[in-house]
Copies of this chain bind each other. A is one copy, B any other.
Amino acid sequence: MDLFLSTFENRIDRKGRLSVPAPFRAVLERRRDPLYLFKSLTEPCLEGCGPERIGQIVDAIDSMDSLSEEVATLQTMLSSAQEMKLDGEGRIMLSADFIAFAELDDMALYAGIGRSFQIWLPARYRARETEARTRAKSEGLPSLRLGGGRRPPDETPGDPQGRR
């Protein structure tokens, strides 16, 4: 099904360039999709996705009351979105704005979350992750209803194959 999974940590060089993990590139290339990045509305991270998601936001705006606050919120997402061009080596250039927003310095962590992925300051991501796991233990799992009958493609309990 072609999803963004697993995490990768790459270096941001002094020109602001950052390699997109090869597996993520493969997903995009298979679909011949350009890559879009935008600032998360709710967290200090960047979100990456393909054009279909951007198109949905555009269409949603057109169908809404243009005076509503919701439209202003959606416009904020589009205004922060950039189509990223990859160089010959599969790198993107992060704008100063993006770097500042996600508070990145010289390393970036990609977290695949299915149809999209996020880019975090590694330390911040890890803190959130342990926090989430702690919550899961103390409060139990969020209700998860996975599709009909199948089981979750069960992964080894420890940690997905975080290579590196």
* A54 in contact with B158 given A141-B41, A142-B73 (CB within 8 Å): no
Please state if B3 and A58 are interface contacts (CB–CB under 8 Å): yes
How far is the CB of A149 from the nearest CB of chain B, in Å? 12
What secondary structure prevails in chain A residues at the interface with B? mixed
Pick the residue among B38, B67, B97, B114 that contacts A78 (CB under 8 A): B114
How far is the CB of A68 from the nearest CB of chain B, in Å? 8
* A78 in contact with B157 given A3-B58, A41-B141, A162-B128 (CB within 8 Å): no
The distance in angstroms between the C-alpha atoms of A75 and B45, with both chains bound, is 14
A40 an interface residue at 8 Å Cβ cutoff? yes
Residue of B nearest to A1 (CB): B51
* Stretch from A11-19, A86-94, A130-138 that touches the partner: A130-138
A127 an interface residue at 8 Å Cβ cutoff? no
How far is the CB of A34 from the nearest CB of chain B, in Å? 9
Interface residues of A in 64-101 (CB under 8 A from B): 66-67, 69-83, 97
A10 an interface residue at 8 Å Cβ cutoff? no
21 contacts between A and B (CB under 8 A): A5-B81, A5-B82, A5-B83, A6-B81, A40-B158, A41-B132, A41-B137, A42-B66, A43-B162, A53-B157, A56-B145, A58-B115, A60-B145, A61-B114, A69-B132, A73-B135, A115-B154, A132-B163, A132-B164, A142-B161, A147-B151
Beyond A47-B159, A132-B163: 8 further Cβ-contacts under 8 Å? A3-B58, A6-B80, A42-B158, A43-B162, A57-B144, A71-B142, A72-B132, A113-B159
Sort A-B residue pairs by CB-CB distance and give the 9 closest, nearest first: A41-B158, A70-B142, A58-B114, A41-B136, A79-B111, A76-B132, A6-B82, A75-B113, A5-B81
